[in-house]
Every structure is written in structure tokens, then in C-alpha cells.
Amino acid sequence: MHPYLPNTSEDVKEMLDVIGLETTEDLFKTIPANLRLKNELNLPKSKSEIEVRGIVNSLAAKNSSIDELVCFLGAGSYDHYIPSVIRHVVSRSEFYTAYTPYQPEISQGTLQSVFEYQSMMCTLTGMEVSNVSMYDAATSASEGAILASVHTKRKKVLVSKTVNPEYQAVLETYLSFRDVDIEFVEEKDGVTDVENLKSKLGAETAGVILQYPNFYGVIENIKEMEEMIHENKSLLIMSVDPIALGVLKSPGELKVDIVVGEGQALGQNLNYGGPVLGFMAATSKLMRKMPGRIVGQTLDREGKRAFVLTLQAREQHIRRYKATSNICSDQTLNSITAAVYMATLGKQGMKEVAMQSFKKAHYTFEKLTKSGKYRPLFDQPFFKEFAVKCEKSVDEINEALREKGILGGFNLKKVNEALGDSMLIAVTENRTMEEIEKFVQIMEEI
């Protein structure tokens, strides 16, 4: 018998008697004898809890985290400061053990926290409605593209090559199974090539996906592109950095139809890649076609404030072919984390994080390019991330930086060979002046 199974010998005998068998082995008679395993599995012997903890800790020690390294790496995930109150709040068992609210009337706490998240996301993005959440920015962008196709009844989506390459890859996978064509708009000098976009817009274009700031950290001029996209009766889908919205014009002000993005910066740990938080917000006319769930506020029969699942067009709730999305789960705990982060900082705090990131990034850029050893890759306005040309291999530079306790920037050659030895550097409010000075000094010495 297996010690971790609760059945006693008497339980097993009783069950076998009911189905008319003598032994447990008789259950497998239909499997040919030559296909059945006769020996024990080649696994190590069991270990005690103390031994297992030691093994796991030794494996974990092989990794280096931002607790030991000073981080200048971004490219989609960022080392922003996470106030201690966030961990204390979201570690409460009523949050981290709560499951999908299939019976919302008894899940008022979860629904209220999600409603607050949605409300804050609408304020931040300037949009009219937000869903609970998605897996990450890549799947959010994909769902936004599908939404645009369903709404416009068109079968092509244009995607700027200045959108994060990982999002591009996921978009290609998703859309290939929805019979939606994807076409990429060329980049020019680090921004979307407006003329190329204009030439590719057509009657079959459901929507256009842009990133703001884009993958290179550049703040694109959205206004000109927005006008031509809407003149073509296509939807404008924009992937945004939520921190940047503390100081930049909101998507609502820029007349965007669908806003998606990565919410990792909103109080989420880097966690070596996940879990993270994809968000989606849109205009009210698109609300009924949005994937996921939307929590609403109402009054109960006693006139008290109450919360409900207003829309839940997921395949778990309705017939599969009528569902707006095949995403059957969301990142509720991550959404609540984002809500606690935004509530903790408030409007002024969000602006302060954005301004500090902006100013420190520009200070680092000026110091690094002053000597001419590192040259700007693009002559464009940027937010908290910028790209420089290097005289050496970026991998070699990053190896040298790591030996000095610094996690260097992203090697752009990995996503575009034409960019050569170029490094994408991210600077957040977490970086001190001492850390920036040390980074620049080591880069100069290299």
C-alpha cells in the first residue's frame, strides 16, 4: 500500500468485492503484460523534510536575484519598488486562498477588491471599462486583436515591429487559430513607419497594435496614426506601460479603442518571469465583446451596496462557441495586488514613480553617452528605457557587469541582428544615484 493514500486494506477489499475482483492487479488485466512495468521506478529514495529543504535551498542558491544584483534590465519586466504594505495585505488568507467566485453573492470581498482594481485601471488609462485581468501583456494583446476582428467583422490585424517581440510571437500563434491574418508594420529610426502603416491599411484591417512607450522605450507620436486608423474604420489597440501613464497622455485622451499591457510594474515581483498581470480596458461600446469577467456595483434588496459579476462571457459560464475567449482563468490575486499598489501610491505617488524613473533614465543616458564610447541608437524621446550602440559584444559587457554585481541591459541583437551590438537599458525609481554612477563608471572602464 502507498502511505500517502488514505484507503485501508479493508477499504480496498470492500471496493474490489463490489466490482467482483480479487486483487488490485486484476484492474489492469486489459493491459498486455509486455507493456506493464515490472520493476520499481528509477527514482531516488524518499528524503525527510529537512533534507528536501536543504536540496531546494541549494538549487535556489544557484540563481541570482535583484536582491543581490543592481538591475538595469527591462525589456518588458521592471524592477520597481514594492511597498511593504502590499505583501501584508495580499498575504491575507481571504485573498490568496480565494477561488473563482462562481457564487458571487457570497464572494463580496473578492468582488469588491476586483471592482476597485477595475475602477483604478479605468482612471489610469482614461478608458470606460476594464475587465478583471488576463495572463500577461502578450495574451492581452492577442485578445485585443481578436476583439477587434469580432467587432469589425474584418480578418486582418496590423502590428508595429516596435511592439515587444515576445508579444508579436504570441499574437502570431493566437491569430493563426482564429483565422485572422497578421501583418507587421515596418519600423524606422526606432518608431513605427507611418508611411508603411498608411500603405498597409485597407478595408480588411480590423485593428492596429502599437506600443506606448514602444519596445525600445521610445514615446511614439500616436496622434497622426490614430487619425488614419480611425479614418479607415479600424480599431486602435495600444499596449502601454502603466507607470508611464503617471505622466504621459492617457490612451483615453489619445482616442484609443482598446488598451492592453503588462501590469507587472504595479506591485508585482519579477519572480523570474511570472506570474504577472495582463490588463485590458476599452470603450463602453466594446464591453460586451471583452474577454474575461467584469465586476459591477449595485444595491441589494435592502438598499445596501453590493457587487456582482456583471459580465462573464467565458466558456466556463456559457456555451463554448458563444464565449468571447478561451482564457478560463484570470490573475485575480495579481489584480488585487495592483489595486493595493495603486491605492497605496495614489495619483501623486504614481506620478512621482513615473517622474523619478524618467529623470533617472535621462540622467543615466546623458552620463553614459557623454564620452562618446556609447552612442544613442535612436534620436527619439524616451521614458525610462533607452538603447545605446556598444563597441563590444553586449553579452561580454553584461558578463563583466555581473562580476561587479550589476544586471546589465538587454542585448537587442537577440531580437534584431540588424541592430548590431546594442543594449537596451532600463532605469526605474529604484536606482540610486550611487548605483547609476557605479554603472556608468564600469561601462566606461569596459
pLDDT exceeds cutoff 60 at 116: yes
Amino acid 272: pLDDT: 86
In this structure, is the dihedral angle defined by the CA atoms of residues 423, 427, 430 and 436, taken in order, positive or negative? positive
SS3 243: coil
Of 104-113, 275-284, 289-298, least confident by mean pLDDT is 104-113
User: What angle, 0 to 180 degrees and rounded to 10, lies between the N-to-C axes of helices 165-176 and 137-152?
Assistant: 50
Q: What is the CATH number of the domain that holds 101?
A: 3.40.640.10
Residues 239 and 386 reside in one and the same domain: no
Query: Where a domain ends, among 314, 342, 370?
Result: 342
Q: What is the pTM of this model?
A: 0.88
Residues 274 and 142 reside in one and the same domain: yes
pLDDT exceeding 90 applies to what percent of the chain?
A: 77
User: What's the number of domains the chain is made of?
Assistant: 3
Q: Rounded mean pLDDT of 57-82? A: 94
Residues 305 and 254 reside in one and the same domain: yes
Task: Assess if residue 106 is contained within a domain.
Answer: yes
Query: Where a domain ends, among 294, 313, 342?
Result: 342
Q: Which residue has the higher pLDDT, 105 or 150?
A: 150
Q: Are strands 258-262 and 278-282 parallel, antiparallel or unpaired?
A: antiparallel
**Gap between the Cα atoms of 435 and 363, Å rounded:** 12
pLDDT exceeds cutoff 90 at 201: yes
Residues 165 and 243 reside in one and the same domain: yes
Query: At 118, which amino acid appears?
Result: Q
Task: Assess if residue 56 is contained within a domain.
Answer: no
Query: Where a domain ends, among 326, 342, 358?
Result: 342
pLDDT exceeds cutoff 80 at 207: yes
Task: Assess if residue 434 is contained within a domain.
Answer: yes
Residues 202 and 273 reside in one and the same domain: yes
pLDDT exceeds cutoff 70 at 327: no
pLDDT exceeds cutoff 70 at 313: no
Amino acid 9: pLDDT: 87
SS3 417: helix
pLDDT exceeds cutoff 90 at 387: yes
Beta pairing partners, 70: 406
Q: Rounded mean pLDDT of 57-76? A: 94
Position 320 confidence tier, pLDDT thresholds 50, 70, 90:
low
Closest CA to 398 of 362, 432, 439: 439
What is the average pLDDT value for the chain, to the nearest integer?
92
Query: At 337, which amino acid appears?
Result: T
Strand stretches in 303-355, DSSP E: 305-312
Task: Assess if residue 57 is contained within a domain.
Answer: no
Task: Assess if residue 2 is contained within a domain.
Answer: no
Which residues span the domain enclosing 408?
Answer: 70-80+347-445
Position 323 confidence tier, pLDDT thresholds 50, 70, 90:
low
Residues 34 and 88 reside in one and the same domain: no
DSSP state of 186: P
Q: Which residue has the higher pLDDT, 77 or 315?
A: 77
Residues 253 and 334 reside in one and the same domain: yes
Task: Assess if residue 64 is contained within a domain.
Answer: no
Q: Rounded mean pLDDT of 311-318? A: 62
Cell readout for 318 is: 456559457
Residues 47 and 120 reside in one and the same domain: no
Amino acid 159: pLDDT: 98
Amino acid 319: pLDDT: 60
**Gap between the Cα atoms of 391 and 203, Å rounded:** 46
Amino acid 37: pLDDT: 86
Position 132 confidence tier, pLDDT thresholds 50, 70, 90:
confident
Residues 245 and 366 reside in one and the same domain: no
pLDDT exceeds cutoff 90 at 6: no
Amino acid 166: pLDDT: 97
Residues 418 and 331 reside in one and the same domain: no
Beta pairing partners, 425: 386
pLDDT exceeds cutoff 70 at 127: yes
Of 53-67, 211-225, 313-327, 426-440, least confident by mean pLDDT is 313-327
Residues 354 and 332 reside in one and the same domain: no
pLDDT exceeds cutoff 70 at 3: no
Q: Rounded mean pLDDT of 43-53? A: 92
Task: Assess if residue 212 is contained within a domain.
Answer: yes
336-353 pLDDT, tens digit per residue, is 999 999 999 999 999 999
Task: Assess if residue 1 is contained within a domain.
Answer: no
Q: What is the CATH number of the domain that holds 438?
A: 3.90.1150.10
Amino acid 321: pLDDT: 60
Cell readout for 329 is: 482563468
Residues 296 and 353 reside in one and the same domain: no
